[in-house]
Chains A and B, each alone.
Chain A
């Protein structure tokens, strides 16, 4: 079997503030194969964005990686120097942020920003730069004349596409995206997602896609990680997770979506709210809200148990995992 492109092992990220140490990501492990589309899903406060930043070495104080490793193309990114990281960024992996307006420089034209990125990573002639810039814009479905446009002159959907184009300038093998469609309307969202999937299949890069909206990844991802309170609650192939959700949290999430078609049933949602990560509950972090809680859940922290092709962090499956061994 080919070596995975990205291997994250026991990664922990904490925010070290004078008030408290908050462990936003707690010993998370997963791999991403070449060309794989991995969705990381969770609600607010679950640590998914922090995880992404941790993997991409984009954290700024008071956030810090406090444990684990991120092996990408043979090197542990946690241990690389700033210069080494800068070389890798955009060339081997790139990042698309939630809001293009935060990442794009409002004072420079799109073309100028593409040029900056290309020039920072090697020598291309002006003609080559222009050609490549036009090429990536066409890839995402934007007319190349917009190279001269400024970010505010483009609509929200187009800006996000421009961001994705920028991320593909150097054809990286891994593109990390943090909620790139959240600020868009439904139709633009759908359009952008199909475009991303199309590009992924065409160019063969792997995608790490963080979102709070499960439906967005349901059609496009190969595998899904569901995060809760800084930990992975469930990890499985997309189809598996949507058809047979194992973790009570995942099941709760599934039942919280009002459906457009089919009969109207009562929406249940999940009562309560996510825990304060400065003082997580004892035992299983989900137990205060779990409809299937057992007495042992209050004192024992579940590990990730393998069940079929999936992994679940739930004591309901502890026995099954033991038996399978």
Chain B
């Protein structure tokens, strides 16, 4: 299986990922046309998503995870870099027909179940519009049946099609969000924090539903979240973002069992499990990363207990350590330096 961040040329066609990005970058100019302040939301981001897999994009606020989703959904264009969908460059898609075709294969689910629906319309509105726009071959009766089918596949009764959003609970609305996405028969669903705003007891149902979509409908999901525990539950692979940079990526169990990047370690130690007793004290107060006019170098260095001089001079790029990609000078150096490790404080366990 091709790993995230693998070189853009020489992609093996047999294993062509569904979607991959090359140095995806997005900057925002803050404060007017002539301002000098540039927010680096995402920088040089490389990802590959394959069929039938759930990839978790984990990060906190300011990490750029939502920006990645909006870039992939083509809400706005990247500042630099390329997105390839099934081998075709998205930038080259100009005609309405091509764009619509892309939107018919890559759909998005939003975080806030309360603002994701137009309160004026019934919940069937989004599903119907999606069917009209992306599956024009269907007649009226067929559309109605499709709407019922997608509602069923997310665990909602077809009777709910006539309800208004305010008549449904948060968990039900999120399922409608997925139903809307499914209506176009997508290959990939971009789920932007789909369970963050739901009660804990409801999340399980939605997470299970997502896993079911991958297994039964063959849909890939980019699961964006700040909750690494839920990422463990549904995702096949995990990508950790910090300050717009990819810091660690790899198979879920590997990354979570043996995190190599100091930020991943910090994140894992901060997540509390109600059943856990171990208290790990950290002096880190959770200050957000500096992403406005950032300088060269690792963006985590100010909070990193292992930072060396190189960290403030050279921006670390993701490098492979085993089956995982890690963007950390210290971790990479240590992994290379196995034979001469002297037992002083080390990043890797």
A215: chain B residues at CB < 8 Å are: 272-274
* B287 close to A259 (CB less than 8 A): no
Number of interface residues, chain A, beta carbon within 8 A: 41
Question: Is B276 part of the binding interface, using a Cβ–Cβ cutoff of 8 Å?
Answer: yes
Name the segment of A3-11, A14-22, A106-114, A268-276 touching the other chain.
Answer: A268-276
Once A188-B285, A194-B281 are accepted as A-B contacts, the answer to whether A259 and B273 lie under 8 Å apart by CB is: yes
Question: Is A290 part of the binding interface, using a Cβ–Cβ cutoff of 8 Å?
Answer: no
A268: chain B residues at CB < 8 Å are: 204
Within 8 A of B (CB), among A125-166: 141, 155-157
Question: Is A294 part of the binding interface, using a Cβ–Cβ cutoff of 8 Å?
Answer: no
B200: chain A residues at CB < 8 Å are: 43, 212-214, 253, 256-257, 269
Question: Is B271 part of the binding interface, using a Cβ–Cβ cutoff of 8 Å?
Answer: yes
A254: chain B residues at CB < 8 Å are: 274-275
Within 8 A of B (CB), among A208-226: 212-216, 218-219
* A257 close to B273 (CB less than 8 A): yes
User: Chain A residue with minimal CB distance to B272?
Assistant: A215
Q: Could you write out 9 A-B pairs with CB less than 8 Å apart? A: A44-B199, A185-B226, A185-B288, A189-B286, A258-B204, A258-B230, A260-B273, A261-B276, A269-B208
* B207 close to A267 (CB less than 8 A): yes
B30: chain A residues at CB < 8 Å are: none
Once A43-B201, A219-B272, A256-B203 are accepted as A-B contacts, the answer to whether A187 and B279 lie under 8 Å apart by CB is: no
Once A43-B201, A256-B204, A269-B205 are accepted as A-B contacts, the answer to whether A264 and B233 lie under 8 Å apart by CB is: yes
Q: Report Cα–Cα, A188/B287, bound state, in Å.
A: 7
Question: Is B270 part of the binding interface, using a Cβ–Cβ cutoff of 8 Å?
Answer: yes
Once A190-B282, A218-B272 are accepted as A-B contacts, the answer to whether A260 and B202 lie under 8 Å apart by CB is: no
Question: Is B256 part of the binding interface, using a Cβ–Cβ cutoff of 8 Å?
Answer: yes
Separation in Å of the A39 CB from the closest CB of chain B? Answer: 11
Separation in Å of the B216 CB from the closest CB of chain A? Answer: 16
* A189 close to B270 (CB less than 8 A): yes
A320: chain B residues at CB < 8 Å are: none
Interface contacts beyond A191-B282, A259-B273, A260-B228: sample of 9 additional A-B pairs, CB < 8 Å, sorted by A = A157-B286, A184-B286, A191-B284, A218-B274, A256-B201, A258-B232, A267-B203, A267-B233, A273-B202
| Residue-wise interface mask of A (163-189) relative to B, using a CB-CB cutoff of 8 A (1 in contact, 0 not) | 000000000000000000000111111
Question: Is B171 part of the binding interface, using a Cβ–Cβ cutoff of 8 Å?
Answer: yes
Question: Is A242 part of the binding interface, using a Cβ–Cβ cutoff of 8 Å?
Answer: yes
Q: Report Cα–Cα, A186/B60, bound state, in Å.
A: 8
* A259 close to B275 (CB less than 8 A): yes
Select which of A155, A194, A213, A260 is within 8 A of B287 by beta carbon. Answer: A155
A213: chain B residues at CB < 8 Å are: 200
A259: chain B residues at CB < 8 Å are: 229, 232, 273, 275
Residues of B within 8 A of A (CB): 60-61, 169-172, 199-205, 207-208, 226-230, 232-233, 256, 266-268, 270-276, 279, 281-282, 284-288
Question: Is A204 part of the binding interface, using a Cβ–Cβ cutoff of 8 Å?
Answer: no
Separation in Å of the A161 CB from the closest CB of chain B? Answer: 8
Q: Report Cα–Cα, A307/B187, bound state, in Å.
A: 53
* B208 close to A191 (CB less than 8 A): no
* A258 close to B284 (CB less than 8 A): no
* A270 close to B274 (CB less than 8 A): no
Question: Is A68 part of the binding interface, using a Cβ–Cβ cutoff of 8 Å?
Answer: no
* B284 close to A187 (CB less than 8 A): yes
Separation in Å of the A229 CB from the closest CB of chain B? Answer: 13
Separation in Å of the A153 CB from the closest CB of chain B? Answer: 13
B233: chain A residues at CB < 8 Å are: 258, 264, 267
A242: chain B residues at CB < 8 Å are: 274-275
B281: chain A residues at CB < 8 Å are: 194
* B207 close to A258 (CB less than 8 A): yes
A258: chain B residues at CB < 8 Å are: 204, 207, 229-230, 232-233
* A260 close to B229 (CB less than 8 A): yes
Separation in Å of the A315 CB from the closest CB of chain B? Answer: 21
Separation in Å of the A230 CB from the closest CB of chain B? Answer: 16
* A269 close to B286 (CB less than 8 A): no
B229: chain A residues at CB < 8 Å are: 257-260
B284: chain A residues at CB < 8 Å are: 187, 191
Question: Is A281 part of the binding interface, using a Cβ–Cβ cutoff of 8 Å?
Answer: no
Separation in Å of the B188 CB from the closest CB of chain A? Answer: 23
Q: Report Cα–Cα, A199/B216, bound state, in Å.
A: 51
Question: Is A252 part of the binding interface, using a Cβ–Cβ cutoff of 8 Å?
Answer: yes
Once A157-B285, A187-B60, A190-B286 are accepted as A-B contacts, the answer to whether A269 and B272 lie under 8 Å apart by CB is: no
* B204 close to A191 (CB less than 8 A): no
* B207 close to A191 (CB less than 8 A): no
* B286 close to A264 (CB less than 8 A): no
A184: chain B residues at CB < 8 Å are: 286
Separation in Å of the B72 CB from the closest CB of chain A? Answer: 23
B288: chain A residues at CB < 8 Å are: 155-156, 185
* B60 close to A219 (CB less than 8 A): no
Select which of A156, A191, A260, A269 is within 8 A of B203 by beta carbon. Answer: A269
Separation in Å of the B86 CB from the closest CB of chain A? Answer: 32
* A261 close to B286 (CB less than 8 A): no
Select which of B201, B203, B276 is within 8 A of A252 by beta carbon. Answer: B201
Closest 9 pairs between A and B when the two form their complex, measured CB to CB: A188-B286, A269-B204, A187-B286, A267-B204, A185-B60, A270-B201, A258-B233, A215-B272, A43-B199
Q: Report Cα–Cα, A190/B171, bound state, in Å.
A: 27
Tell me which of B171, B204, B281 has the highest count of chain A C-beta atoms within 10 A of its own C-beta: B204
Separation in Å of the B251 CB from the closest CB of chain A? Answer: 13
Q: Report Cα–Cα, A187/B271, bound state, in Å.
A: 8
Q: Report Cα–Cα, A155/B201, bound state, in Å.
A: 31
